[in-house]
Amino acid sequence: MRTVSRSIKMLLLLFVIISLVVGCSNSNNNSNSMEKEKTPVNTPKAETPAEPEAPKLDPYEITLVMPGAPLKDHDLVIGEMNKILTEKINATLNLHYVDWGAWGEKTNLMFASSETFDLIFSAGWFGYTNSVGKGDYMAIDELVEEHGQAFLDTIDPEIVNAAKVNGKLYAMVANKEFAADKGLTLNKALVEKYNFDLSAIKELADMEPLFKTIKENEPEVTPFLTTGGGAPSASILDYGYYDILGDGPGELLRTGEGLTVINKVEDPKYMEYAKLMRKWYLAGYVNQDAATVGDTGPAYRAGKAFAQTNSYKPGWILENEKSMGMGLEVVQIATPFTSTTDATSALIAVSRTSKDPERAMMFMNLLYSDADLLNLLINGIEGTHYVVTDGNIIDHAPGLDSATTGYPVTMNWMIGNLPLTHVWVSEDPNKWKSYIDYNESAEKSRALGFAFNTEPVKNEIAATSNVEKEFKFVIVTGSVDPEEYIPKYLEKLKAAGSDKIIAEKQRQLDEWAKTR
Amino acid sequence: MKTNTFNMQWLLHLVFIVFVAMTLIPLLLVLMISFTDERSLTLNGYSLFPEKFSFDAYTFLFNDSSVILNAYLVTIIVTVIGTTLSLLLCALYAYPLSRKDFPFRTGLTFYVFFTMLFAGGLVPWYLVYTNLLGINNSLLALIVPNLLLSGWNIIIMRTFFTNTIPPELIECAQMDGASEFRIFFQIILKLSLPVLATIGLFTTLAYWNDWWNSLIFISNRDLYSLQYLLNKILMDINVIFNTPGNSNQTKLLTLIPHETVRMAMAVIGIGPIILAYPFFQKYIVQGLTIGAVKG
């Protein structure tokens, strides 16, 4: 009896192991066979180089790498796009997503192992110059001339130049707003309750009486909810008062003339903001955990705060009142300003591992000229995901909303000639027109187009960024006394090599100015 | 004198009560937050006694359950196959190293020992698995890299075999006509349950908690492991908040689940693995005592 039950057990165990192993190897076979299916698409290419101008192009699969996650109806939409693409440039699109959080590691490894792909998202705030420095992207000046005419026709040459590094173009900017204005977002209900006159506010310091009123009358509400990165010094000064000229210390004053790189920590304005925040912090206007807190969105939405800093563009209030579910008022403190970072806030670069950069460029050109194609990519399929209500205005298809749709809009700031796309009913109907006006009205930085190559001073930058981690957040949120801590911060920055970085920035900036 | 030891006893109890509380309370807090109403959470902050209970987080998770359930399945399959294979391979490697009559034992021990001290680096490691073996985007990528064979585990097993199994036993078995395989599977492994259970627990935990392999090798969402899903949220938040000059923060933030949902995911993530402990515990205690007696 014992032996029987034992052998049954052994049999069961064997069965389980075998079925697991078989199941596992099956899935491997699948993925292998999928890869095999893919390869023949590429191989004929390698043997017979494409004649770019020839009327009949060989079929090619363009791989576009974007951050984010695949949407539910991804395959459906790509299928529709491929119909257009096959007809126009005999290509198909493989839209490959990499999670935001895994982006750095994964794309580094993809480049390191020379994985084949054609186009990849990048941005001034997302490591663009670094990747160019490492040689991940291909210089595309000639390609654009040859196959990217629609891109050149659409984008202001000054903005195209902003994406250049050392005089060479490495990426195509998405056509959207190229500037940002900075200021404070206020809870509209509270503004109305206390009848605040917002037109009187010109400077950050003018907010003080408002905070005082809120503090005295609304014990449940934090007058000024902020974070290390959202403190006025970090969000208003860094992008509206200085041009931060890429990574590392060394800034340019927005006002004035000339191209002298300064260290903002020594600037009187920096001290002024730090002192102001210190005063408010001690008075209890600022949340006491500001230096360490992460996501303040939920608390703000719950009505527990009066003011918050933000970065604005046309239609911001409308878009955010919807998503936050509350009335908002905006006080502008820094007027629209275009720096290299703003101009390069969404880029598509051509990977050096691309097998057919010309076809990739033809595809990008379509995204700047073919409204149908771009609308598919951004908004999904007409009838399935959206319906046209009036002219260029669209709404969710009947029975769907932004939560239930299989293709929610996520890429409407990342790629292509966005003014070609439809406008949603929830948005300003003149959205794209106002973007154009906004871009024109924005003050352009004297260093627009300068991109700092961090390579020669990367050790110093790493060292100063460690110092910054220690001091920046506590100083800008007013958590410590600036009179005592700013000199300390400065001293440590200098010890970490900030002067060397600033000198290098100055040198590169002067050189850049000569080539203009 | 008697009261003295009595007091000492209570002091010790107190220390351990505090220690246990320090370990349990955070866990309990996570559990309670996952049951808290989102709005009352933002208004009142974290609390062990939420003002308003809600199952919204779990409803949300299981409404959109395909991703979570899939990740669960992937993690379970990987943990079971991985642990079984890993134990078998480790034992098969460690046993010969413990035999004094095995000719290449110094060389092979050094080979294992060397990998404990030096590694090839991330990029070559990645290249071997993706370009040479081509196992990225498959379950094998979650089983083999880093986790399948650990030099540390092999050395522990070898030491256990050397210390607890007398060579005479093997000689006896040989004299009785047992083949090497029979000796290994029917005698050695039977006698080594404690070490197998201990290493088994380590390996199970390592497989269950692994997210690095998913991060590096997997781009197909259907093969994401549970821990990677959890980690992804944190990493996404990090990228969105720590990139300066990103005027699209508010747009990106919609991608991130609410606080209660994050906690609910953590609770689900702890899930079955907590049940594995009592099962292994018996053997671990045994393993410890055997070690103690033999010195």
Whole-angstrom Cα Rg for chain B: 24
Compare B289 and A76 and report the one with higher pLDDT: A76
How many CA atoms lie less than 13 Å away from A54 in the CB half-sphere? 10
Check CB contact of A35 with chain B, cutoff 8 Å: yes
| pLDDT class of A5 with cuts at 50, 70, 90 | low
Name which of A231, A428, A415 is nearest A321 in CA terms.
Answer: A428
Tokens 């199994």 belong to residue: B165
Tokens 């970065």 belong to residue: A311
Contact list, B235 vs chain A (CB under 8 Å): 99-102
> What are residue A33's phi and psi, to 5 degrees?
-65, -30
Residue A477: pLDDT over 70 = yes
Chain B stretch 77-116, residues whose beta carbon is closer than 8 A to a beta carbon of chain A? 77, 80-81, 84
| CA pair distance A426, A438, nearest whole angstrom | 20
| CA pair distance A151, A488, nearest whole angstrom | 48
| pLDDT class of A147 with cuts at 50, 70, 90 | very high
Contact list, A424 vs chain B (CB under 8 Å): none
Q: Name the minimum distance, in Å, from the CA of B139 to any CA of chain A.
A: 7
Tens digit of each residue's pLDDT (9 = 90 or more) over A449-471 = 888 888 888 889 889 988 988 89
Which residue in the set B137, B242, B247 is minimally distant from A345, CB to CB?
B247
Give the pLDDT confidence score for residue B95 in this predicted structure.
92
Residue B257: pLDDT over 80 = no
Structure tokens, A267: 């600037």
- Secondary structure percentages of chain B, helix, strand, coil, to 5: 75, 0, 20
Q: CB distance B235–A99 less than 8 Å?
A: yes
| CA pair distance B75, B229, nearest whole angstrom | 11
Laid out side by side, the sheet with A119-122 consists of A91-98, A60-67, A119-122, A347-350, A171-173
For residues A505 and A280, the answer to whether their CB atoms sit within 8 Å is no
Residue A319: pLDDT over 60 = yes
Chain B stretch 208-267, residues whose beta carbon is closer than 8 A to a beta carbon of chain A? 215-216, 219-221, 231-256, 258-259
Chain A stretch 213-252, residues whose beta carbon is closer than 8 A to a beta carbon of chain B? 227, 229, 234, 238-239, 244
Tens digit of each residue's pLDDT (9 = 90 or more) over A335-384 = 999 988 888 889 999 999 999 999 999 999 999 999 999 999 999 999 99
Average pLDDT over chain A, rounded to an integer: 84
Tens digit of each residue's pLDDT (9 = 90 or more) over B24-69 = 999 889 888 888 887 777 667 777 887 778 887 787 777 666 778 8
Q: CB distance B232–A105 less than 8 Å?
A: no
Tens digit of each residue's pLDDT (9 = 90 or more) over A425-452 = 888 888 888 998 999 999 999 998 888 8
Q: Report the 10 Å Cβ neighbour count for B292.
A: 8
Residue B264: pLDDT over 90 = no
| pLDDT class of B229 with cuts at 50, 70, 90 | confident
Percent of chain A whose pLDDT exceeds 70: 89
| pLDDT class of A391 with cuts at 50, 70, 90 | confident
Give the pLDDT confidence score for residue B2 in this predicted structure.
57
Give the pLDDT confidence score for residue A101 in this predicted structure.
83
Closest chain B residue to A28 measured between Cα atoms?
A: B138
How many CA atoms lie less than 13 Å away from A448 in the CB half-sphere? 20
Q: Detail the DSSP E strand segments found in A214-259.
A: 222-224, 242-243, 252-253
Q: CB distance B77–A24 less than 8 Å?
A: yes
Tens digit of each residue's pLDDT (9 = 90 or more) over A249-286 = 999 999 888 899 999 999 999 999 999 999 999 999 99
Chain A stretch 286-325, residues whose beta carbon is closer than 8 A to a beta carbon of chain B? 294-295, 297-299, 301-302, 304, 311, 313, 319-320, 323
Which residue in the set A28, A126, A313 is minimally distant from B140, CB to CB?
A28
Consecutive H or E run containing A231: none
Compare B248 and B136 and report the one with higher pLDDT: B136
Which residue in the set A17, A98, A112 is minimally distant from B123, CB to CB?
A112
Tokens 């933000």 belong to residue: A310
Which residue in the set B127, B216, B219 is minimally distant from A105, CB to CB?
B216
Q: CB distance A113–B253 less than 8 Å?
A: no
Q: What does DSSP say about strands A180-187 and A222-224: parallel, antiparallel, or unpaired?
A: unpaired
Check CB contact of B63 with chain A, cutoff 8 Å: no
Q: Please, which residues have CB within 8 angstroms of residue A145's CB and are 6 or more apart in sequence?
A: A152
Check CB contact of A50 with chain B, cutoff 8 Å: no
Check CB contact of B20 with chain A, cutoff 8 Å: no
Task: Kindly state the average pLDDT of the residues B212-224.
Answer: 87
Mutate to test the interface with A, among B127, B143, B214, B248 (most CBs of A within 10 A): B248
| pLDDT class of A301 with cuts at 50, 70, 90 | confident
Give the pLDDT confidence score for residue B266 in this predicted structure.
84
Q: Name the minimum distance, in Å, from the CA of A482 to any CA of chain B.
A: 22
Which residue in the set A17, A302, A341 is minimally distant from B43, CB to CB?
A302
For residues A222 and A283, the answer to whether their CB atoms sit within 8 Å is no
Give the pLDDT confidence score for residue B120 in this predicted structure.
81
